[in-house]
A and B are shown apart, each in its own frame.
Chain A
Amino acid sequence: MTMAATSHDTPVETAAPSTRRQPDRTYWLLAPGVLWMLLFLVAPILMMVYVSFWTQTTFKIEPTLTLKSWITFFSSDTYLGALWTTVRIWLIVLVSTLLVGYPAALFVGLFVKNKTLSTALLVLCVIPFWTSFLIRVLAWRPMLGKEGAINMILMKLGIVTQPIEVLLFSELSVIIGMTQIYCVFMVGPIAFMLGRIDPSVIEAAQDLGASFWRIFRTIILPLSMPGVVVGAIFVSVMVLGEFATSAALSGRKVNLLGNIIVTQVGSLKWAFAAVAGVVLTILMGAVVAALLRVVDLRKEL
């Protein structure tokens, strides 16, 4: 027999076992990234909160703590107006990206059975992202302007006799621009969730004589909800932090919190800018938290 029960008293040369090396390595690998984020992401945000309590004089700020900037913010019609505009534009764009994007997602994710075609359609949606964001925003000016493409077409078709002026440099143009730029972030996640629906479930429902509307309400819509929430988070985070689209397309008529921050920084009113920044952070945190409440993402994905 080649096998022997081992006795526990065999003398052995004991090498000092260097146990548990692995966790250390994990922390070393993480350290640079975590440090970077703490220094250049967390610290600036905390600094912003801190500075919002500093004392603002005409051209500089002093680290004397005060609530003055906060009081100014909440007693100023301009700032409160900007807060309201931000919320309003955000809600409208959220709804419009959903309305505009959902049918397209439905087509790409559920109705196109050909895998290549659906991939091609999604790629087609993503290609514009390879153009500069600012250029895409700017591209709406020749579209919506008084002598722009839309007015020109409408007049040629005889639908209107006078160019519609409200198309550009208005809240409408900001909403149209944002809807176009952000709706793809809605289409992607929804199409992804719809693509995971087992077609046989829908076929079975059809065989039982359910109408499309009923199938949509009872099967398709609930199953696509996680996609809607993910899309809504994307769109919300981006729209709430916006200032470029309104700067380019509203002709200073639409002032979002982002625009307030930009102007305040431009005139060196750092404390006011910081207050607007903190308000924006809180607003965004609340929106994202609320959206995550609607659907438990970890469970769904």
Chain B
Amino acid sequence: MSAVLQLKNVHKAFAGVPALAGVDAALMDNSYVSLLGPSGSGKTTLLRVIAGFEQPDGGEILFAGRRIDGVPPHERGIGFVFQNFALFPHLSVAQNIAFGLENRAVAPVTDAKAVTARVRDMIGLVGLTGLEDRAVTQISGGQKQRVALARTLVTEPSMVLLDEPLGALDANLRTRMRGELRTIRERCGVTFLHVTGSETEALAMGDTVLVLDRGRIAQATDAGTLYSRPASADVARFLNCYNIFSGAVSGNVFESPVGRLALGGVRQASGRPAYAIRYDRVAIRPRDAAAAGDEVRIEASFVASEYSGAAINSFFTLDDGRVFEVETHLSHAAPEAFEEKARYALVWKREDALVFV
């Protein structure tokens, strides 16, 4: 496999405010790439720069080995699926899908039969059969999503950019579309670059996940690695499954606001010292239970619990007032009833913690 898209030190500022501050990345051919970032991280800007809707202030963009920064969007051959779908409201479903084939500047398909056949195949692929002649204002959100995708895929781009494609759908549909997007991509063999603000979506969908933070790629790796080994405290924070303490390492302990935490695991260089422990690595014990030798123990008062499917999340207040979250999988044990405002011991293995130095 080779890189289909390469970004080298891409810069972009709006009215002096930097949106992209030197983005470097390479996207492999025929893969599903998620681009995760909090709002304001510049992820939509990056997508629009790749598509050619915005010009970068500096840096290089290489697509299929060719430099494309400065090339107008319609000469790039990169598909784009908008968050609001941006369907052509005056055209029917079939006309929307046929539009690119018939009107593109390079190799337009003029034979009406060929167009019809390819549109029919594509409508079948995305599961819209029977809706060909509907107006796009007459179909549901999920169907609009499919039209947007079909309209792009039928032109056979080698890469498709998806800007929060599931953002406008309701929760049920979002889950279903995740699977469908992956299936459709595999069948077409194109690279998807899927922008999202949701860490679960990014982790679920991407073969590779890029994490964008303040205009830079903070980490680029597969979902498993990202989840267990975030490259910095900030990345860990976006993943929304780590309790993070700031502080400093001194010898074999981490000096945190809630006390000295003994160190045991790996240390990663990240520029800013921090200590992170994943929600589901923490055990809740009665206050009088002692910690084993390889364990770290802190105390906190219980606030509330919240069910989320197969897991239960419990919230505690630490001595410095911050909230500490623990995720207990219900397959491990029946849910325990904790007493509000009572003190409990929160315990985890030293080596489970991530230490950034």
Number of A-B contacts (CB under 8 A): 61
The segment from A15-23, A73-81, A184-192, A218-226 that touches chain B is: A15-23
Tell me which of B9, B65, B70 contacts A13 (CB under 8 A).
Answer: B65
In the complex, are the beta carbons of A13 and B66 less than 8 A apart? Answer: yes
* B65 neighbours in A (Cβ, 8 Å): 12-13
Tell me which of B7, B9, B67, B208 contacts A3 (CB under 8 A).
Answer: B208
A69-105 interface code vs B (CB 8 A; 1 in, 0 out) = 0000000000000000000000000000000000000
B156 CB within 8 Å of chain A: no
A2 CB within 8 Å of chain B: yes
Tell me which of B3, B8, B67, B70 contacts A4 (CB under 8 A).
Answer: B3
A10-46 interface code vs B (CB 8 A; 1 in, 0 out) = 1011110111111000000000000000000000000
In the complex, are the beta carbons of A17 and B70 less than 8 A apart? Answer: yes
Within 8 A of A (CB), among B1-55: 1, 3, 6-9, 24-26, 28, 31, 55
A182 to B207, CA, bound (A): 69
* A15 neighbours in B (Cβ, 8 Å): 66-68, 70-71
Within 8 A of A (CB), among B171-212: 207-208, 210
Tell me which of B1, B25, B66, B225 contacts A6 (CB under 8 A).
Answer: B25
A135 CB within 8 Å of chain B: no
In the complex, are the beta carbons of A12 and B3 less than 8 A apart? Answer: no
- When C-beta atoms are compared, the residue in chain A nearest to B26 turns out to be A6
A3 to B55, CA, bound (A): 25
A5 CB within 8 Å of chain B: yes
In the complex, are the beta carbons of B26 and A3 less than 8 A apart? Answer: yes
- Binding site of B, secondary structure by majority: helix, strand, loop or mixed? strand
A218 to B55, CA, bound (A): 50
B62 CB within 8 Å of chain A: yes
Tell me which of A1, A2, A13, A22 contacts B67 (CB under 8 A).
Answer: A13
A156 CB within 8 Å of chain B: no
B222 CB within 8 Å of chain A: yes
**Min distance, Cβ B203 to any Cβ of chain A, angstroms:** 15
Contacts A17-B69, A18-B71: A6 and B7 contacting too (C-beta < 8 A)?
yes
* A18 neighbours in B (Cβ, 8 Å): 70-72
A8 CB within 8 Å of chain B: yes
B231 CB within 8 Å of chain A: no
**Min distance, Cβ B59 to any Cβ of chain A, angstroms:** 10
B221 CB within 8 Å of chain A: yes
* B72 neighbours in A (Cβ, 8 Å): 18, 21
In the complex, are the beta carbons of B1 and A2 less than 8 A apart? Answer: yes
In the complex, are the beta carbons of B55 and A19 less than 8 A apart? Answer: yes
B277 CB within 8 Å of chain A: no
- When C-beta atoms are compared, the residue in chain B nearest to A21 turns out to be B72
* A3 neighbours in B (Cβ, 8 Å): 25-26, 28, 208, 210, 220-222
In the complex, are the beta carbons of A20 and B1 less than 8 A apart? Answer: no
A19 to B68, CA, bound (A): 10
In the complex, are the beta carbons of B71 and A5 less than 8 A apart? Answer: no
In the complex, are the beta carbons of A4 and B55 less than 8 A apart? Answer: no
* A22 neighbours in B (Cβ, 8 Å): 55
A21 to B221, CA, bound (A): 37
Tell me which of A2, A8, A21 contacts B8 (CB under 8 A).
Answer: A8
* B66 neighbours in A (Cβ, 8 Å): 12-13, 15
A186 to B66, CA, bound (A): 61
In the complex, are the beta carbons of B221 and A1 less than 8 A apart? Answer: yes
* B62 neighbours in A (Cβ, 8 Å): 10, 12
In the complex, are the beta carbons of B71 and A6 less than 8 A apart? Answer: no
In the complex, are the beta carbons of A6 and B67 less than 8 A apart? Answer: no
In the complex, are the beta carbons of A4 and B26 less than 8 A apart? Answer: yes
* A21 neighbours in B (Cβ, 8 Å): 72
* A2 neighbours in B (Cβ, 8 Å): 1, 28, 31, 207-208, 222
- When C-beta atoms are compared, the residue in chain B nearest to A10 turns out to be B6
* A10 neighbours in B (Cβ, 8 Å): 6, 62
In the complex, are the beta carbons of B70 and A19 less than 8 A apart? Answer: yes
18 further A-B pairs in the complex, CB-CB below 8 A; given A5-B24, A13-B66: A1-B208, A1-B222, A3-B26, A3-B28, A5-B220, A6-B3, A6-B8, A6-B26, A10-B62, A12-B60, A12-B67, A14-B67, A17-B69, A17-B70, A17-B71, A18-B72, A19-B70, A20-B55
The interface of chain B, by Cβ under 8 A from chain A, is 1, 3, 6-9, 24-26, 28, 31, 55, 60, 62, 65-72, 207-208, 210, 220-222, 225
The interface of chain A, by Cβ under 8 A from chain B, is 1-6, 8, 10, 12-15, 17-22
Shortest beta-carbon contacts, A-B, top 7: A17-B70, A2-B28, A19-B70, A3-B220, A6-B26, A3-B208, A2-B208
Could you jot down 30 A-B contacts, CB within 8 Å? A1-B221, A2-B1, A2-B207, A2-B208, A3-B25, A3-B26, A3-B28, A3-B208, A3-B210, A3-B220, A3-B222, A4-B3, A5-B24, A5-B26, A6-B3, A6-B7, A6-B26, A8-B8, A8-B9, A10-B62, A12-B67, A13-B65, A14-B67, A15-B66, A15-B71, A17-B67, A17-B69, A17-B71, A18-B70, A18-B71
